[in-house]
Amino acid sequence: MIAVTIVLFGEDNPLGGVAGDADNLAYMVSRERGRGKVLAFARNRHLQRGKAHWQFDTDVYTWWPAGAHLNEMFGPRYAVIGSAVGVSDANGIGQPEAGTLEKRLTAVPGPARFIPTHTGQGLPTSAIAALPTRSGSMKNLTYFALTSQSFTDFDWLAVLDSTEYNRGGPPLQPWDANPQQ
C-alpha cells in the first residue's frame, strides 16, 4: 500500500518552519512503517537535498529546506524527484534559453521525460557547473528553474514540455519587484 500525502510547507507551520515540516514527514513515515511508502508532494525547493537560495530583487534568502533535513534523517532511504517545465504561458514561464538545462532536456523527444540524475555521480563536473540558469516566471515569483545543483538535489527529474495548469485560482498577473509609486 502506498500512502499519498500532500503536505503544505511554510513559515506558518506551528511546529517551526522547514525543520517542523521535516519532522511532520518523518512522523508520517513512522506511522506508515510496514504499510508502504510515503509520497510527499511539494515544490522542488521544499524537498531538495541541498541548501536553497532565493533572490528577490536585491535580497538573497538562503535556508536548509525540509528535504535537506529528511536526507539527514533517512539517508539513502530518502528519494526525491524534481520537476521542470519547458513552457507555461499560464504561469508566465517562456521558452527556456539556449544552453539551459530545461532547453537541453526538452530537446529530447516526447511531451514528458523521467531522467535519473545519479546524484551527479559520473557527470562531467565542469560542464554541469557551466550550465546557465534559465530566466524565471513573469507571473509567479515562487517559480524556480533547474540549476546545476539539481543533479545533486534530486534523484530523478520529471520534465514536461508544457503545462497550462494555473492552480485553479484566478489567472496570474505579471508582477514587478520595483513597482513605481
- How high is the pLDDT of residue 177? 56
What are the cell numbers at 102?
Answer: 530545461
> How far lies 91's CA from each of 121, 142, 167, in Å?
33, 10, 9
Q: Indicate left, alpha or beta for 89 from its phi (over 0: left) and psi (-120 to 50: alpha).
A: alpha
Residues with Cβ within 8 Å of residue 81, at least 6 apart in sequence = 154, 155, 156, 157, 158
What are the cell numbers at 73?
Answer: 534523517
- How high is the pLDDT of residue 6? 39
Q: What is the DSSP track for the chain?
A: --EEEE---STT-TTTHHHHHHHHHHHHHHHHTTT--EEEE--HHHH-SS-EEEEETTEEEEE--HHHHHHHHHGGG---EEEEEEEBGGGTB-PPPTTSHHHHHHTSSSSEEEEE-GGGTTS-HHHHHTPPPPP--SS-TT-----TTHHHH-SEEEEEEE----TTSSPP----SS---
What are the cell numbers at 53?
Answer: 537560495
Domain positions in the chain = 1-76, 80-181
Give the pLDDT means over successive 10-residue stretches in the chain (181 positions).
Answer: 38 53 87 87 90 86 91 93 93 94 95 92 91 90 90 95 78 68 48
